[in-house]
């Protein structure tokens, strides 16, 4: 069974308590790596410049009170109890919220939308989509659907959150690894620190990014034990420090100490909130990684282990610092000064391992969200490598990996201290949280159909807290906070330019498409020589004939005997079930042997390789031909074509000949029409079964249908050719300066330096033909 089939079974199966507890344990290494390593640098960043540790302990107790209530209100109340419920068919993250809003209000930015997409099970399966909206929710939905400006603002808001997540993918590994390595300063002379900390951090970061292409599935089983050991370590040290140094430190949990802290420190205390903010870095991962686990497992892991361990760790550090006021003259106030001297080296090793695990989680999350953006047309095409055939979501993007590594090394070498790294990381974290708060307020009204006062209360309460931290981080613009802003602006400009260019290209295709009547007027042979094989015309259109085909047939004298207009598109759902994967229809009369096939993927679906995809495509067309009279029509598009839903090979068995291992040995090598299918192989058998489409020997199939199926089989054996358009876009004469820069410079630069349309199909180079055209948009 492949990843695709397993992912749907994991969604629908009823979880036992054993499964939930296992997922809760596994989530420690994936979800909580970043959050659990925050004690390494929170106090150090907070006391770096704005405030100082004094004999009265007002500062340290005030900071502890802020940390306790910040962790309690934001990760615990906001994310664990509220935001985790806003899942998109089990998936979480910024784009999951945006996807929910796209389905409940027609604000979808994807151009090739169809009515048939709204009939997908996943489209309506996660919420009360059919519930009638009334009052404010109906007026809000109408307003969003009516004003395109608001739709663009909503998209840009989601993209800003995405860009900040990418920025966090640069900053989190830097600050986590650098803070972990900084423990060596207690065992070396001060003048040697810069010769040890920065090189050691850079070596670890280079190794971390260099090993990404191997995937984490080989060592992933070690992630949860490392984080579990780290949490037990910091909580045990915290308990020791509380008992040994200040058992009454629990009194600082009172909100009164926050008031006392701000009253004494005033503006300096407000500016120090940028360091306190780092105690919740990584909280967004609980929601972003929801698709890998379950809501209940993440809630159990946080409330029963992560939350108490972090509180004990921060209380322990505060208890130690409350009895040591002279350390600031020798060392910066950090995590390692509160660790007993005999345990510092073992704790240093565990801290480095935990920092690597936390960095790995945010890097993988960055890959995942870029994949989602690319699927929804908001990021240039990139090469996506699935590093595990068993674990869904384990991906690697080479281009992004090396960009992240270069940027991560640049900020590490450039800043060389936790304070500025913390300022940069804090702004990225709090911006993502603000975006989530804004999108959640719309989800509460439009998707959950709650009263407007619930949404207002949510925005006012959590928005006020996050705005306070955001202002404290933004004031540090010149002290490191400019980095995430600069990175986000660069990525946002690239995303908006690519999305704008993609829409303009689609508009050009729609305006210049050739009618089916023109194609039919050419006759059964299309006015050219029909040769053996299948020709796949890749297009973004869901109806009509693309201009590249007319350009192709007017310049070449031959084409394949079976012609398929293929559209591979993404829909605003995380997954499309295998039985709903294909929309197949016929173009023209039967004797023309022309079909239209629309392949639908969710933004988290795994795209199959060329061999398996070709097999599923041919099987879906054959199934459509065989059951054409019985299949329900789900859509008649503008060209009068009837489209029917057809699943992949795994969803039906008629016409599939299963060859067992003994037959494999006796047969010749597989021809082009035979598909190696891992879906049907037995668990105990190491021999891959060959699965091929055959025409069943039954009198129920009409002679005309049998001939069509035989011709399809013959064409499949003749080979498959991919014909794709390679468009060079130019702004029309008289266009404005902004449009000329966006199309002629920005979009063309991204198109030339990123992957082409072949990436979406993973088509083999030897079977791909690109048709060049100039688009004046």
Region 551-555 average pLDDT = 76
- pLDDT score at 646: 81
Of the two residues 519 and 283, the one the predictor is more confident about is 283
pTM of the model: 0.83
Region 608-631 average pLDDT = 77
The dihedrals phi and psi of 514, each to the nearest 5 degrees, come to -95, 140
Quote the CA–CA distance of 243 and 247 in Å, as a whole number.
Answer: 5
**Mapping DSSP to helix (H, G, I), strand (E, B) and coil, where does residue 676 land?**
strand
pLDDT digits (tens, 9 = 90+) for 195-247: 788 899 999 999 999 888 877 666 667 888 999 999 999 999 999 999 999 99
Residue 358 in domain? yes
311 and 203, same structural domain?
yes
610 and 550, same structural domain?
yes
Quote the CA–CA distance of 670 and 716 in Å, as a whole number.
Answer: 13
Residue 165 in domain? yes
- pLDDT score at 310: 96
Distances (CA, A) of 92 to 161, 342, 440, 581: 13, 42, 12, 22
Q: How many CB atoms lie within 10 A of CB 701?
A: 17
Region 723-740 average pLDDT = 86
Distances (CA, A) of 305 to 35, 113, 232, 277: 12, 44, 9, 21
- pLDDT score at 229: 95
Least confident of 188-202, 310-324, 434-448, 501-515: 188-202
268 and 329, same structural domain?
yes
The answer to whether the beta carbons of residues 725 and 537 sit under 8 Å apart is: no
82: which 2 tokens? 């509220």
- pLDDT score at 527: 64
458 and 561, same structural domain?
no
Region 272-291 average pLDDT = 88
The percentage of residues in the chain with a pLDDT greater than 90, rounded to a whole number, is: 29
- pLDDT score at 145: 82
Quote the CA–CA distance of 580 and 2 in Å, as a whole number.
Answer: 16
Quote the CA–CA distance of 447 and 33 in Å, as a whole number.
Answer: 31
Helices marked H in 302-343 — which ranges? 307-321
Quote the CA–CA distance of 624 and 643 in Å, as a whole number.
Answer: 10
Asked whether residue 331 carries a pLDDT value surpassing 60, the answer given is no
318 and 247, same structural domain?
yes
531 and 476, same structural domain?
no
557 and 472, same structural domain?
no
Distances (CA, A) of 383 to 374, 524, 611, 759: 10, 39, 18, 7
Of the two residues 691 and 735, the one the predictor is more confident about is 735
Quote the CA–CA distance of 34 and 27 in Å, as a whole number.
Answer: 12
49: which 2 tokens? 């410049």
The dihedrals phi and psi of 543, each to the nearest 5 degrees, come to -155, 160
Quote the CA–CA distance of 501 and 746 in Å, as a whole number.
Answer: 9
520 and 439, same structural domain?
no
Residue 686 in domain? no
Residue 670 pLDDT class (50, 70, 90 cuts): very low
- pLDDT score at 38: 93
- pLDDT score at 416: 84
Quote the CA–CA distance of 317 and 715 in Å, as a whole number.
Answer: 72
H helix or E strand, kind and range, residue 742: none
Least confident of 35-44, 188-197, 414-423: 188-197
- pLDDT score at 466: 94
Least confident of 175-189, 445-459, 568-582, 721-735: 175-189
The dihedrals phi and psi of 140, each to the nearest 5 degrees, come to -65, -45
Residue 757 pLDDT class (50, 70, 90 cuts): low
Average per-residue pLDDT in the chain?
81
- pLDDT score at 126: 46
Residue 579: domain span: 513-630+701-776
Asked whether residue 579 carries a pLDDT value surpassing 80, the answer given is yes
Asked whether residue 655 carries a pLDDT value surpassing 60, the answer given is no
Region 401-418 average pLDDT = 91
The answer to whether the beta carbons of residues 473 and 427 sit under 8 Å apart is: yes
pLDDT digits (tens, 9 = 90+) for 67-118: 999 999 999 999 999 999 988 877 888 888 888 888 888 777 667 676 777 7
Residue 460 in domain? yes
Beta bridge partners, 558, equal 529
The dihedrals phi and psi of 531, each to the nearest 5 degrees, come to -110, 170
- pLDDT score at 332: 62
- H and E: helices and strands count for the chain: 30, 13
pLDDT digits (tens, 9 = 90+) for 501-536: 988 888 888 888 887 777 777 666 666 677 888 988
Distances (CA, A) of 287 to 79, 317, 376, 379, 426: 7, 29, 20, 22, 18
pLDDT digits (tens, 9 = 90+) for 111-151: 767 677 777 777 765 444 445 556 778 888 888 888 888 88
603 and 554, same structural domain?
yes
Least confident of 131-145, 554-568, 569-583, 675-689: 675-689
In eight-state DSSP terms, residue 283 is T
Residue 372 in domain? no
Residue 185 in domain? yes
Domain count, the chain: 2
Read off the CATH number of the domain in which 195 is found. Answer: 1.20.1740.10
- pLDDT score at 642: 75
264 and 151, same structural domain?
yes
469 and 582, same structural domain?
no
The answer to whether the beta carbons of residues 109 and 379 sit under 8 Å apart is: no
Quote the CA–CA distance of 445 and 690 in Å, as a whole number.
Answer: 51
- Calculate ∠ Cα 271-276-279, nearest 5°: 155
Least confident of 405-419, 492-506, 554-568: 554-568
Asked whether residue 20 carries a pLDDT value surpassing 80, the answer given is yes
In eight-state DSSP terms, residue 335 is S
398-415 b/e (C-beta count within 10 Å ≥ 16 → b):
eebbebbbebbbebbeeb
In eight-state DSSP terms, residue 73 is I
Of the two residues 53 and 659, the one the predictor is more confident about is 53
- pLDDT score at 532: 85
Asked whether residue 627 carries a pLDDT value surpassing 80, the answer given is no
305 and 212, same structural domain?
yes
- pLDDT score at 671: 36
Q: What is the dihedral of CA 547, 553, 554, 557, to 10 degrees?
A: 170
Residue 769 in domain? yes
Residue linked to tokens 């959150």: 161
Residue 9 in domain? no
């Amino acid at each position: 069974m492949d990843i695709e089939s397993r992912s749907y079974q994991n969604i629908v199966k009823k979880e036992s308590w054993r499964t939930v507890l296992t997922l809760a344990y596994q989530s420690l290494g994936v979800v909580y790596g970043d959050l659990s390593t925050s004690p390494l640098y929170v106090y150090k960043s907070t006391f770096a410049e704005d405030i100082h540790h004094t004999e009265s302990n007002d500062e340290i107790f005030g900071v502890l009170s802020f940390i306790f209530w910040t962790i309690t209100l934001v990760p615990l109340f906001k994310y664990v109890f509220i935001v985790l419920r806003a899942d998109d068919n089990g998936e979480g993250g910024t784009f999951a919220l945006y996807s929910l809003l796209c389905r409940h209000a027609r604000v979808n930015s994807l151009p090739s939308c169809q009515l048939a997409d709204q009939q997908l099970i996943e489209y309506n399966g996660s919420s009360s989509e059919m519930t009638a909206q009334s009052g404010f929710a109906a007026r809000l939905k109408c307003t969003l659907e009516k004003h395109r400006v608001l739709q663009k603002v909503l998209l840009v808001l989601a993209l800003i959150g995405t860009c900040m997540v990418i920025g966090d993918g640069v900053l989190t590994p830097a600050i986590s690894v650098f803070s972990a390595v900084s423990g060596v300063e207690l065992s070396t002379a001060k003048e040697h620190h810069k010769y040890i900390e920065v090189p050691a951090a850079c070596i670890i970061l280079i190794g971390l990014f260099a090993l990404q292409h191997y995937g984490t599935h080989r060592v992933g089983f070690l992630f949860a034990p490392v984080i579990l050991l780290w949490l037990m370590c910091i909580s045990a040290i915290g308990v020791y420090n509380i008992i040994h140094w200040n058992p009454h430190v629990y009194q600082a949990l009172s909100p009164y100490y926050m008031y006392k802290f701000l009253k004494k420190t005033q503006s300096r205390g407000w500016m120090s909130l940028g360091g306190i903010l780092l105690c919740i870095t990584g909280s967004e991962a609980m929601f972003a990684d929801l698709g890998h686990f379950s809501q209940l497992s993440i809630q159990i892991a946080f409330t029963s282990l992560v939350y108490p361990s972090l509180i004990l760790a921060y209380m322990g550090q505060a208890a130690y610092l409350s009895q040591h006021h002279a350390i600031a003259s020798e060392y910066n106030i950090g995590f390692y000064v509160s660790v007993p001297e005999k345990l510092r080296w073992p704790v240093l090793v565990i801290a480095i391992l935990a920092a690597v695990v936390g960095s790995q989680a945010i890097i993988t999350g960055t890959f995942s969200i870029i994949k989602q953006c690319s699927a929804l047309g908001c990021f240039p095409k990139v090469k996506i490598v699935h590093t595990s055939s068993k674990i869904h979501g384990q991906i690697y993007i080479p281009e992004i990996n090396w960009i992240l590594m270069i940027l991560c090394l640049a900020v590490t070498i450039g800043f060389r201290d936790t304070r500025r790294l913390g300022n940069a990381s804090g702004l990225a974290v709090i911006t993502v949280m603000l975006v989530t708060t804004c999108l959640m307020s719309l989800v509460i009204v439009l998707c959950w159909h709650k009263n407007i006062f619930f949404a207002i209360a949510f925005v006012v309460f959590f928005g006020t807290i996050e705005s306070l931290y955001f202002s404290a981080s933004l004031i540090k613009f010149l002290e490191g906070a400019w980095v995430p802003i600069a990175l986000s602006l660069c990525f946002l400009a690239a995303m908006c330019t690519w999305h704008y260019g993609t829409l303009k290209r689609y508009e050009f295709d729609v305006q210049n498409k050739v009618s089916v009547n023109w194609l039919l007027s050419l006759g059964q042979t299309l006015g050219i020589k029909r040769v053996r094989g299948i020709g796949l015309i890749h297009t973004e259109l869901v109806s009509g004939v693309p201009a590249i085909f007319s350009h192709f047939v007017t310049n070449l004298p031959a084409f394949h005997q079976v012609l398929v207009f293929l559209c591979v598109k993404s829909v605003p759902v995380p997954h499309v079930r295998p039985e709903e994967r294909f929309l197949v229809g016929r173009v023209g009369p039967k004797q023309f042997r022309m079909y239209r096939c629309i392949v639908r993927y969710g933004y988290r679906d795994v795209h199959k390789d060329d061999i398996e995809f070709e097999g599923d495509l041919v099987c879906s067309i054959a199934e459509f031909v065989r059951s054409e009279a019985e299949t329900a029509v789900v859509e008649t598009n503008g060209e009068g074509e009837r489209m029917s839903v057809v699943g992949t090979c795994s969803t039906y068995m008629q016409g599939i000949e299963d060859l067992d291992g003994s037959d494999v040995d006796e047969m010749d090598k597989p021809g082009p029409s035979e598909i190696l299918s891992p879906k049907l192989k037995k668990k105990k058998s190491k021999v891959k079964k060959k699965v091929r489409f055959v025409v069943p020997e039954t009198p129920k199939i009409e002679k005309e249908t049998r001939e069509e199926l035989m011709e399809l089989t013959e064409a499949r054996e003749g080979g498959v050719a991919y014909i794709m358009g390679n468009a060079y876009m130019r702004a029309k004469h008289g266009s404005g300066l902004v449009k000329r820069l966006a199309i002629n410079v920005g979009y063309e630069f991204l198109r030339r330096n990123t992957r082409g349309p072949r990436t979406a199909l993973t088509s083999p180079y030897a079977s791909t033909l690109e048709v060049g055209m100039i688009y004046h948009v």
